[in-house]
Structure 1
Amino acid sequence: MTTYLVTAASGHLGRLAVHALLERGVAAGDVVATARDLDAISDLAALGVQTRRADYTDPSSLKEAFAGVDRVLLVSSNAVGGDRVGQHANVIAAASDAGVELIGYTSIPRADSNPMLLAQDHRRTEELLAASGLPTVLLRNSWYVENYTEQLAPVLEHGTVLGAAGGGRVSVATRADYAAAAAAALVADDQAGRTYELGGDTAITLEEYAAEVAAASGREISYTDLPADQLVAALVGAGVPEAFAGVLADSDLGIARGDLLVESGDLSRLIGRPTTAPAEAIRAALA
């Protein structure tokens, strides 16, 4: 009997990964879902999943949560601009102390060479995993289509998608697609040492994304390409903290360079089906 632990199960990706493990036939009692607040994952407990408190900033909670666990999915911290690497180091130490047989980590495409600001913490975390000696599978996720569809309200209100990505293409897929891939890698044999470059089958430009939103909504939607500093100013004006706005603008510049274009086919192969088409995801979000 193998026990699987998913960190950050109160978040979008972690919760979906728990469900993906169950869909793959893992018994609910063999799945451990962790979160800082157990009330936030009471729905998973109701399914029979073990729930344990684990806080990336609290090593003692991690030690208790990881007891008796065989395989771990480390969902990267959402503390962008904070001490993500330190938080990940705490998780890696707990996994090492527990003697887990495999740890999966949700990273970013080509983390070892990707120049994006967002890649820095992922690169350092991958280095920590390598130094730990833990059997590791790297799940280098490209962009979630929800990064865009969760911002549909202002797009529909103003009739435009703002960005600084030029004509760069990004290999979007749904969080559910990436969660399914994580579950597939976690349950499979001989995964230690593997690196998956994960991205959707269909790469799109932001202009194409705007056109898909227009087609699905029946409204006139355009793409407005801005210099990075003007995009930062627009995001700050919309209430985004300046530091995070800078990260978002830098990510668009990365898309323009092709930093989030993934053509490996790893994602569809891992999940055993085509990835969700952007048009389908947009229609679902609008519904």
Structure 2
Amino acid sequence: MTILVTGATGQLGGLAVRHLLDRVPAGDLAVSVRDAGKAADLAARGVAVRRGDFADPASLDFAGVDTLLLVSADGPDDLRIAMHANAIDAAERAGVRRVVYTSVVAADTSPLALARVHVATERRIRASGRAFTILRNGLYHENYTAGLPGALDRGALVTATGEGRVASVARDDLALAAAIVATGDGHDGRTYELTGDRAWSFDELAEAAAEVAGKPLPHKSVSGGELRAGLLAAGLPEFVADLLADIDAGIRADALSTVRPDLADLIGRAPAPVEQAVRAAL
């Protein structure tokens, strides 16, 4: 069995590779990365490093792969859809048996704009004739805890989430679930909704950060337009500002607050709480 991980030098992909190496010999593992030099440490451990770019279909080499762990790419929506399709086409050509894909929670019913990418990719996977497992990942704790030091410096945590709640997840728990599915049996045809075991509000996040830091941190909720303008002023690309503002709107509407048991069932324990990520960030 050969398992190939795309995006293996990224954050989620890199963690998935680490967990896979706890479960299979390095010789049974391959990675596809745009810059092979960044995976030199994996090559030194015996992992097969293949240079591949989703935007360059001819570069994608999935020969001899049994299970493809397809970590979703970054970028504008239409580009992501096209790149994912390129990867799935390459999997078909190579005769890959199974595709495990990192989607987004409740993709088929979500009001989030980013769900369009994942719905299109899920449909393309199902149409490919490959066995598949869909991992619908919740939002990462780290999306929100990484900005806490800056928020403390500025004196406020600014979002457009209002009183909405989100059942976020530690990135490492999602990577562990991906490794378990990629190496295990009984997951073909399954779609897992992977969330934390409780939903929290940004008032609660600010309170947790204040407790760890020993200084006040109020949560200031602004309009989506104000948030977007601030993100653009900070130099973020327009598509990223739009994405983040849309996610905050979804949280405000409680579209990301549903708690599901799938992640705990897969990893065999309660998911790591957001407070753990707060402590790590501060």
TM range (shorter): over 0.9
Q: How many residues are matched? A: 282
Partner of 1:149: 145
Aligned equivalents of 1:108, 1:169: Cα separation in 2: 17
Partner of 1:110: 106
Cα shift at 1:152: 2.4
Does residue 32 (structure 1) correspond to residue 30 (structure 2)? The answer is yes
- Which amino acid is 2:24 matched to? V
Partner of 1:57: 55
Encode CA deviations 1:84-116: one digit per residue, 9 max, x unaligned.
000000000111112222111111111112111
- Alpha-carbon RMSD across the aligned residues, in angstroms, is 1.2
Partner of 1:16: 15
Does residue 277 (structure 1) correspond to residue 273 (structure 2)? The answer is yes
Q: Does the aligned pair in 2 maintain the 1:161–1:210 contact within 8 Å?
A: yes
Q: Which of 229, 232, 236 is equivalent to 2:228?
A: 232
Aligned equivalents of 1:96, 1:20: Cα separation in 2: 26
Encode CA deviations 1:149-205: one digit per residue, 9 max, x unaligned.
222232121121111111111111111110001111111112111000001113211
Structure 1 unaligned runs (5+)?
none
Aligned equivalents of 1:236, 1:104: Cα separation in 2: 34
Cα shift at 1:82: 4.9
Q: Does the aligned pair in 2 maintain the 1:72–1:100 contact within 8 Å?
A: yes
Aligned equivalents of 1:256, 1:80: Cα separation in 2: 23
Cα shift at 1:45: 1.6
Q: Which of 58, 72, 78 is equivalent to 2:74?
A: 78
Aligned equivalents of 2:41, 2:257: Cα separation in 1: 35
- Which amino acid is 1:242 matched to? E
User: Structure 1 length as normaliser, TM-score?
Assistant: 0.95
Partner of 2:251: 255
Structure 2 unaligned runs (5+)?
none
Q: Does the aligned pair in 2 maintain the 1:142–1:261 contact within 8 Å?
A: no
Q: Which of 248, 261, 264 is equivalent to 2:260?
A: 264
- Which amino acid is 2:9 matched to? S
Moved over 6 A (4+): none
Does residue 209 (structure 1) correspond to residue 205 (structure 2)? The answer is yes
Aligned equivalents of 1:46, 1:159: Cα separation in 2: 45
- Which amino acid is 2:48 matched to? Q
Cα shift at 1:15: 0.7
Q: Secondary structure at the match of 2:108?
A: coil
Aligned equivalents of 1:80, 1:142: Cα separation in 2: 20
Partner of 2:41: 43
- Which amino acid is 1:9 matched to? A
Q: Does the aligned pair in 1 maintain the 2:196–2:260 contact within 8 Å?
A: no
Q: Secondary structure at the match of 2:269?
A: coil
Q: Does the aligned pair in 2 maintain the 1:202–1:278 contact within 8 Å?
A: no
Encode CA deviations 1:109-150: one digit per residue, 9 max, x unaligned.
111121111111111111111111211100000111111122
Cα shift at 1:257: 2.1
Q: Does the aligned pair in 2 maintain the 1:81–1:244 contact within 8 Å?
A: no
Q: Secondary structure at the match of 1:162?
A: strand
Sort the Cα spacing of 1:35 and 1:78 in 2 relative to 1 into closer, same or farther, 3 A. same
Partner of 1:68: 64
Q: Secondary structure at the match of 2:185?
A: coil
Q: Secondary structure at the match of 1:190?
A: coil
Q: Does the aligned pair in 1 maintain the 2:7–2:32 contact within 8 Å?
A: yes
Partner of 2:120: 124
Q: Secondary structure at the match of 1:83?
A: helix
Percent of aligned pairs with the same amino acid: 45
Partner of 2:196: 200
Aligned equivalents of 1:146, 1:104: Cα separation in 2: 23
